[in-house]
Structure 1
């Protein structure tokens, strides 16, 4: 896709139209108009961070008002902190390089990559400089750096603006990976990332921006959520009052609503009871909560939007297979998108990417 100004204008129009059409109607009081949309919650989290930390900087393309970022997450911040919210040229390498330099000098920095696909352009300053700087100077150097990456498809943006590149950053020493979800308070998660003192990547599925946060225990009329290890860690969603189940799903970020839809169909149509675990931190991965939540004989399926091969999901599956060997009745399942570039045509895009029915069918095959 053309990354010129004209191309961006066309993309902005598409973003606005799609955001309007993807807003969903809530089914309970927890997701009424009283609950902020995910983008609004993220914007409020950034405002709170700036109020609390006079050493925090935010850098990115077109993040200044009146534009306020491609997804309006940074709207209003330049008016409040013009000297610390800096619109940059079109250069992801320079953005993350400057943010890493600020972090090395003792400041806090958040870098926004307009589309996470282009995180590949900042791979060197992030992986070879920022992540290594924490420990390669003979003593620990705090690097308070967060790189925000809008990711994922189902928006009609085509092959180069719709990918989920999480797997390319798995296993880098000194680099932590997190993923935004409607179940996790963004201020809590961002504060935790900055407190780690090491570079973090925050993946934000674009389909979530227009959805509403879950602000109470009830997710909808059927499912409820509880938190394991604090609100910024793991969320567990299941049928109220039900323990155990036939299948334990593990999914992050933009997969949450698709997994919940599959769980509803499986329960009502097939009497297959599932629970869903949603991590905030992808890597390093804590196997404690899924091991504790596992019921002997249940199926485990890890769901992710990226294509199979060297993925976060396969890493999770391998570790759980080791820890639960002897209690599993079948191998840990992986649900991934097809091995294909992502088409721009909506009907073809849906066929390539993981959808609600992809998850439902995978669980049906495994359990039956």
Structure 2
């Protein structure tokens, strides 16, 4: 088997591998059948090999995800391709209010093996409605996992883990990565810890001058910057790329962050209640204190909101919750 030349080729091969492994897996999307193979050619050849499992659909994002949800509830599995991540807003209700809640609202755990693939980001000249990074709209939704494609995480194991996790998931795929090589710059050393890829470029010094924490879509740009920083300014650095953006375990990030002289969290999405905001806050709180104590963030629990009133009160922020948080910070 030849090594894929591009990340897009690796993703295509991964989808083929999963379809061959599991006859109950379906791939759904607009124009994904041959000869088109989707807007970016990622599914090219798959409908010819798996005509029963690879199905081109009408232009109805909510309908496509709704069918995928139904397949999952019936015991099958589904991967949905959005033509552009911008269009995932049309399926927001099916993802957030149905798929994410279906894991818990039937009286017993119900697996929802649904993955929604979203080609995201700009740098392709596609304009305002075809270039957005809408990850932040799904960060923090209870019952929903959010991942991002990178050159450092093999697509087949990643997709297999997403389908086997029991929760619906979104996979954001920066469009510029499709043509990128699936192997990093040979100047950089890559290792993996807890689902996080660590990329190093250094001059042999034990401590890094800086640490970048970024999702996979920024990996190529981050590596280019790291190369320049080393060769032109003799600055050594680390790049941490988590495969799963939410829920995010920050523990694998802490050793590299503690050893770096400066830490930068980088993302393509806009500011506000975004992934990078949360990561920066959690790192700040874990690593650096202040005379008045670390900044605290008070939020509802990461659980689906129950119907019973007494359970609902436990999940949502109440007056008593705020009082307890203030008292804890005053000790």
TM-score range, shorter chain: 0.7 to 0.9
1:360 maps to what in 2?
Answer: none
Alignment of 1:1-368 (within 5 A): 34-214=3-183, 219-229=184-194, 233-239=195-201, 242-296=205-259, 298-326=261-289
> Which residue of structure 2 lines up, in the alignment, with residue 364 of structure 1?
none
CA distance in structure 1 between the aligned counterparts of 2:69 and 2:10, rounded to whole angstroms: 26
Deviation at 1:221, TM superposition (A): 3.9
Q: Measure, in 2, the Cα distance between the counterparts of 1:243 and 1:140.
A: 47
Task: Please report the TM-score for the alignment, with normalisation by the length of structure 1.
Answer: 0.76
- Is contact 2:85-2:132 (8 Å) kept? yes
Does structure 2 retain, via aligned residues, the 8 Å contact 1:57–1:85?
yes
Gaps of 5+ in 2: 295-331
Give the CA deviation at 1:324: 0.9
- Unmatched 5+ stretches in structure 1: 1-32, 332-368
| Closer/same/farther in 2, CA of residues 53 and 297 from structure 1, 3 Å limit | closer
> Over alpha carbons, which structure has the higher Rg?
2
Contact 2:210/2:238 (CA < 8 Å) preserved in 1? Answer: yes
Is the partner of 1:178 in helix, strand or coil?
strand
**What is the CA deviation profile of residues 201-259 of structure 1, one whole-angstrom value per residue up to 9, with x for unaligned ones?**
00000001011101xxxx32421101113xxx111001265543111100112211111
Work out whether residues 114 and 167 of structure 2, in 8 Å CA contact, stay in contact via their aligned partners in 1: yes
Residue equivalent to 1:363: none
Question: How many residues matched?
Answer: 290
Q: Deviations over 1:293-315 (max 9, x none)?
A: 22356211111111111110001
Distance 1:116 1:297 in 2: 34
RMSD between aligned residues:
1.8
SS at match of 1:310: coil
Q: Normalising to structure 2: TM-score of the pair?
A: 0.84
